[in-house]
Amino acid sequence: MQKIIYTNNLSDAIRKLVIEFEPSSVHIITDENVKRHVLPGLGLDYNVISVNSGDSNKNIDSLSKIWSGLTEQGATRKSLAINIGGGVVTDMGGFAAATFKRGIRFINAPTTLLSAVDASVGGKTGINFNGLKNEIGVFASANAVIISTIFFSSLPQQEILSGYAEMLKHGLLSSSEEYTELLSFDITKADFESLLPLLEKSVKVKERIVDEDPYEKGLRRALNLGHTAGHAFEGLALQKGLPIPHGYAVAYGILVEMILSHTLRSFPSQELYRYAAYLKAQGYGFPDISCSDYDTLLGFMRHDKKNDTLSEINFTLLSAPGKPLIDQSASDSEIIAALDIFRDLLH
């Protein structure tokens, strides 16, 4: 079980963990934005390794830069890495730590809602490779995760929407009540005090699932809800040179998979309208796709890690809110039909 600390005194929590872990050295792994805007305010006196910001830099070059930084700063097997940043930093920093000298300890301190609710918890680490999302990585749990909302107020609205999509996903997996509570929250006017209890609930949904199935042999695949289609939207956008936030892609992916759930597993149609209306009201926009992109989208879905073979595309579907069904598949024509409906619903 991962140690998850909820606090708004991040520096203090980090200092306490450093005392507890007695590392031979401490290395903050972060990105240029966080280094410039967040680190100075934390007043921590440790080594810093910084990579360029953004998902397009979650690659082997940045990974090599982190490994080199650890070597140059004299890290040993008893050292401690502290990943401070969004999902790119926690995923890549976690992978760098898990593979440096065959694994050193690391702490995640997410600075975005998305990484707090998703990336920083549950042990998935990795990088993109050859244009495929998280193609390379390992399962390695952070020795501790420190969740704090202090950074959220300075995040652009887009980042908040992005993270909230994963909270909607957790709500959908958990129960109709939790999901409905989330849909009644107006994040365009977010007050981070009132978001905190929702966030804790949301992280606990993920914790519960990951503890039962850490290596994704079964139940954990439920967390992939929205991600088969979502990763395809994300990959396509990247290919077009117009990247979209991960959470937006997931928000869209959830809708596509809700439509498939309706067609194939009797998911109630009114939920499609309720969800699409929420996305529109909150300003998630819609992805720039046309029929000519369908082949590319299907290609990305087919290469998704979640598929056991290349002949079937694996989805998590729902028979109702709170009732996920893992290891579902859909044919190309069913997916294409869902993409058509998706475009109608959002445009």
CB 168 within 8 A of CB 182: yes
**Contact mark string toward its own copies, 139..178, x via CB under 8 A:** x---------------------------------------
CA distances from 214 to 124, 201, 217, 219 (A): 9, 19, 8, 9
Compare residues 200 and 212 and give the one whose CB is closer to its own copies: 212
Q: For residues 326 and 111, give the distance between their C-alpha atoms in angstroms, rounded to a whole number.
A: 31
**Total residues in contact with its own copies, by rule CB under 8 A:** 34
Q: Which of 326, 322, 339 is nearest to 263 (CA)?
A: 339
Which of 8, 37, 60, 240 forms a contact with its own copies (CB under 8 A)?
A: 60
Q: For residues 41 and 98, give the distance between their C-alpha atoms in angstroms, rounded to a whole number.
A: 28
CB 59 within 8 A of CB 128: yes
Burial of 46 from C-beta contacts in 10 A (0-12 / 13-18 / 19+)? middle
CB 42 within 8 A of CB 10: yes
Q: For residues 139 and 40, give the distance between their C-alpha atoms in angstroms, rounded to a whole number.
A: 31
By CB under 8 A, residue 138 contacts its own copies:
yes
Place of tokens 């959220």: 152
Q: For residues 318 and 122, give the distance between their C-alpha atoms in angstroms, rounded to a whole number.
A: 22
By CB under 8 A, residue 129 contacts its own copies:
yes
By CB under 8 A, residue 126 contacts its own copies:
yes
What minimum distance in Å lies between the beta carbon of 80 and its own copies? Answer: 13
CB 198 within 8 A of CB 188: no
Which of 27, 31, 47, 67 forms a contact with its own copies (CB under 8 A)?
A: 67
User: Where in 188-217 is the site for its own copies (CB under 8 A)?
Assistant: none
Among the candidate windows 134-142, 197-205, 237-245, 327-335, which touches its own copies by CB under 8 A?
134-142
Among the candidate windows 42-50, 125-133, 157-165, 281-289, which touches its own copies by CB under 8 A?
125-133
Among the candidate windows 30-38, 67-75, 111-119, 282-290, which touches its own copies by CB under 8 A?
67-75
Q: Which of 52, 66, 130, 139 is nearest to 96 (CA)?
A: 66
By CB under 8 A, residue 76 contacts its own copies:
yes
Among the candidate windows 75-83, 172-180, 257-265, 266-274, which touches its own copies by CB under 8 A?
75-83
Q: For residues 183 and 16, give the distance between their C-alpha atoms in angstroms, rounded to a whole number.
A: 37
What minimum distance in Å lies between the beta carbon of 25 and its own copies? Answer: 8
**Contact mark string toward its own copies, 279..318, x via CB under 8 A:** ------------------------x-xxxxxx--------
Which of 36, 78, 208, 240 forms a contact with its own copies (CB under 8 A)?
A: 78
Q: Could you list the residues that contact its own copies (CB under 8 A)? A: 24, 60, 64, 67-68, 71, 74, 76-78, 98-103, 124, 126, 129-130, 132, 134-139, 303, 305-310
